[in-house]
Structure 1
Amino acid sequence: MTLDSGQYDPRWANLHMNPEEAARATEDIGARALPPSHVGRFTLASHDWNDPFKRLVLASAGRPYALWTPVIGQPVLFDGRAQSFEPWWNNVD
């Protein structure tokens, strides 16, 4: 399952979660990982394209789940094997 955590705006707060809400929801449902959606692909909201990633990293710190942030197109394993993802959004202009 993915949770929307990008393309947020106060005008549509009932439709899209912000990163902090997604982090809290991930923990609330007992998920083992948060693969965010609606982030890093296109812009509908007024925030910077990489703002959701930055906020998700902060909001997920110390939580009991893994934050999965693959580069667009990178395979993600759902079979329980350990995997890690680099903060690729820091290297894109």
Structure 2
Amino acid sequence: MALKDGQVRGLVALTFSLITGAAFFYSWVERWGLLDSFYFSVITISTIGYGDLAPQTALGKLFTIGYVLTGLGLFVATASAIADAIISSRRDGRNKENQR
């Protein structure tokens, strides 16, 4: 499983921490509920961006710029590390089967 890899666990924890921090920020600054704040944080960092929510304050807009610039790289690194761990695990499993 991918979460057995220490690097993957660290990246997942960092990603969830960033999303959680952003959600609390949006809840506080934009006065959104926590569900909307988490939703916006995930939709934004994953670059889906449905457009149904958008920051209205200058502080929220500035934060979102930084959040996207830093969060996007972290999100891609996390997704890549998970995919790599899954592929490596399957490859190792096949190699063990072939050695039998």
Structure 2-normalised TM-score? 0.30
- Larger Rg: 1 or 2? 2
Larger strand share, 1 or 2: 1
Which one scores higher on RCO, CA 8 angstroms, separation ≥ 6?
A: 2
Structure 1-normalised TM-score? 0.32
